[in-house]
Structure 1
Amino acid sequence: MKPIRNSAKAMIIQDHRILLTKNRDEQGEYYLFPGGGQEKYEQLRETVQRECMEELGCEVDVKDIVYVREYIGKHHEFAAWDADFHQVEFYFECTMTTNVDVTQATQLDNDQIGVEWVEISRLHEVRVYPKTLVKNLQDEALKPCYIGDAN
């Protein structure tokens, strides 16, 4: 059994748009919130800062936590290959302190093909993970809540 993994994610919102990583798999394009796995001895805020530099090529100021989400693979659409994966994700409100520059990104994710500002009102039109956060972002201002096991 794999250990539970912590992940820290950035929610960067400007002018009714959110900054997401753009990715491609066999089903086409999809979007993710920038962020990733916490390393040993690293605080979650440090994880967000490192991951934004790796995936976006920018520095961020990490504000308060806004969502906590769990992902238990065996309960979701990717169970065929993700059944033994359990991750707890911490979503932080962030602001950029430098401009996005993917050429300065230090380590893009495997499926990542870029970054994109997506209109929050359009999020339901694209494939975004976790899907659950789309409704939250479109219905209300960021407010701390526990999402639970969701995809």
Structure 2
Amino acid sequence: MSPRLSIRAVFYKDDKILLCKHHDDRGFWYITPGGGVEHGETLEDAFHREIKEEVGLQAEMGKVLCIRDLISDRQPTPYLPEHFHQVEIFVEGINPVFAYDAHNMDPAQIGYEWVKLDDLPKLLFFPSSLVDIFQYKKFSDIYLGHKL
């Protein structure tokens, strides 16, 4: 089974980050907007489609901030399918404009919100092992390896 390729958008405004808000049996949890790249779709096409679907945004795709592997067999969790392997490319989102209604949110997604960076460690945020990197914008290493 091949790894799934995912593009994730990172938007900062003042002292906040834009996150998709989800709810399930764990309570509320948060991730950056984004998702899987479809066959024949460029990373930039997927970036634009995903932010439009999940948060109703129109924006420019900026530079790559970091890349991580997510491999469920290395750290099993009941929330990821067995043998799941996803390569996530986190990119900077530039000049966001809320131009659409979010119209194709993920199943557990209940909305989105601008979250204060100081509050990030208090939330159930994924990838949890990268909270410091996102909170303090410390994207010094492009490839971060396998991180949950």
TM-score computed with the length of structure 1 as normaliser: 0.90
Deviation at 1:115, TM superposition (A): 0.2
SS of aligned partner of 2:98: coil
SS of aligned partner of 1:74: coil
SS of aligned partner of 1:128: coil
Matched residue, 1:40? 39
Structure 1: which amino acid aligns with 2:85?
H
Q: Which runs of 5+ in 1 are unaligned?
A: none
Instruction: Please say if 1:62 is aligned against 2:72.
Output: no
Deviation at 1:141, TM superposition (A): 4.1
**Identical residues among aligned pairs (%):** 31
**Runs ≥4 in structure 1, deviation > 4 angstroms?**
none
**CA offsets, 1:63-121, max 9 Å, x none?**
010010100012225157522100000000002442275xx112010000010111111
Native 8 Å contact 2:132 2:138 kept in 1: no
Matched residue, 2:144? 147
Matched residue, 1:53? 52
Structure 2: which amino acid aligns with 1:112?
Q
Instruction: Please say if 1:122 is aligned against 2:127.
Output: no
Count of matched residue pairs: 148
Q: Partners in 2 of 1:108 and 1:80 — Cα distance? A: 18
Matched residue, 2:3? 4
Matched residue, 2:22? 23
Q: Partners in 2 of 1:80 and 1:112 — Cα distance? A: 15
Of residues 52-61 and 135-144 in structure 1, the stretch that sits farther from structure 2 once superposed is: 135-144
Matched residue, 2:81? 82
Native 8 Å contact 1:9 1:34 kept in 2: yes
CA RMSD of aligned residues (A): 1.7
The structure with the greater share of residues assigned to helix is 1
Q: Which runs of 5+ in 2 are unaligned?
A: none
SS of aligned partner of 2:73: helix
Q: Partners in 2 of 1:93 and 1:58 — Cα distance? A: 14
